[in-house]
Amino acid sequence: MAEPVTIEELAEAMYRMVEESVGGRKLRPQELTKAMLERFGAERCSKDACKKALRQLMDSGRCVYTFYGGSFVELPSQEKDGVEP
């Protein structure tokens, strides 16, 4: 059996997806989870691990939740706009 993906690896992969989507389509938390399950496989990655990775991104301030008729994961505005705090 393959070794499970660490929460840090999941968080980094999710962060890269969010970063790549800046200026385009906004990503929902469920879309990130589905993408991670497809990328790493259900035997190495779980929905619970994805929730923990999302929580880590939020707690660290690397990503934020935004609400526009639903929840989305985005970069904080200073990173998204390229402006240093």
Pick the CATH number of 7-80 from 1.20.1250.20, 3.60.150.10, 3.40.50.720, 1.10.10.10: 1.10.10.10
Distance in angstroms (rounded) separating the CA atoms of residues 42 and 15: 20
Q: Report the range of poorest mean pLDDT among 32-36, 42-46, 58-62, 76-80.
A: 76-80
Q: Where are the domains of the chain?
A: 7-80
Radius of gyration of the chain (CA): 13
Tell me the pTM.
Answer: 0.86
pLDDT tens track for 7-57: 999 999 999 999 999 989 999 999 999 999 999 999 999 999 999 999 999
The candidate with the shortest Cα–Cα distance to 27, out of 72, 81, 77, is 72
